[in-house]
Amino acid sequence: MSDITILDYGSGNILSIYNGFKKIGVDVNVSDDEDVISKSDAIILPGVGAYGAVMNNLDNYRKLIYEHVDNDKPLLGICLGLQVLFTSSEESPDVEGLNIFEGSVKRFDLPDEFKIPHMGWNQIKVNDTPTNDTTLLDNVDGEYMYFVHSYYIEPDDENLITSTCDYGMNVPVSIGRDNVHALQFHPEKSGKAGLEILKNFVDII
């Protein structure tokens, strides 16, 4: 079994993700130890809270994350763990993201009938193109996933986008390129379809 580590940097909903992997029979590490993280076959990058606070907590792990990605090891970002992969966010304009992908994170600006945050279940549409990697989303096109977010990603390269949902606009909700995958929704809270995504990630490793 591959060595998977949930990065415990003080800004993640770690227990639910850990339990999600347990449900599919996979033991994962939870660690803030740089040695453990650097030796892992795959990293889960969670994130809950404000963009600036999360990036402040992640700062000590920047080099490790870049090395992990450069070594073609799989990485899965979840929720804010997706957003920090980009250059910047309107939530914390002066804070630099990980910038693994160029692009920004925008706050929803929607008619009043659309409540912010976008919270609850919504249907995803898988966007399969030749230049992105949708293997993470095998067998979940059209399934409902659980969301809690007030901001959404706007990649410079739209071909990164592997799925979208409809919430007053066509919202990009996942990306995939080579060994890096990330989801705006919470697979660990999305029932059977969400667990299918975690299984797919294990298969990718």
Per-domain boundaries in the chain = 4-204
Q: Which of 22-26, 127-131, 145-149 is predicted with the least confidence, judged by mean pLDDT?
A: 127-131
| Spatial distance between the Cα atoms of 205 and 203, rounded to a whole number of angstroms | 5
CA angle 184, 74, 187 (to 5 degrees): 30
The answer on pLDDT for 11 being more than 90 is: no
C-beta of residue 101 within 8 angstroms of C-beta of residue 85? yes
181 an active-site residue?
no
154 an active-site residue?
no
What is the separation, in whole angstroms, between the first and last Cα of the chain? Answer: 9
The CATH class for the domain spanning 4-204 reads alpha beta
Q: Which of 91, 143, 165, 188 is catalytic?
A: 188
Q: Which of 118, 149, 186, 196 is catalytic?
A: 186
- Over residues 71-121, the pLDDT tens digits come to 999 999 999 999 999 999 999 999 999 999 999 999 999 999 999 999 999
Q: Which of 79, 91, 118, 165 is catalytic?
A: 79
When pLDDT is averaged across residues 25-33 and rounded to a whole number, the result is 95
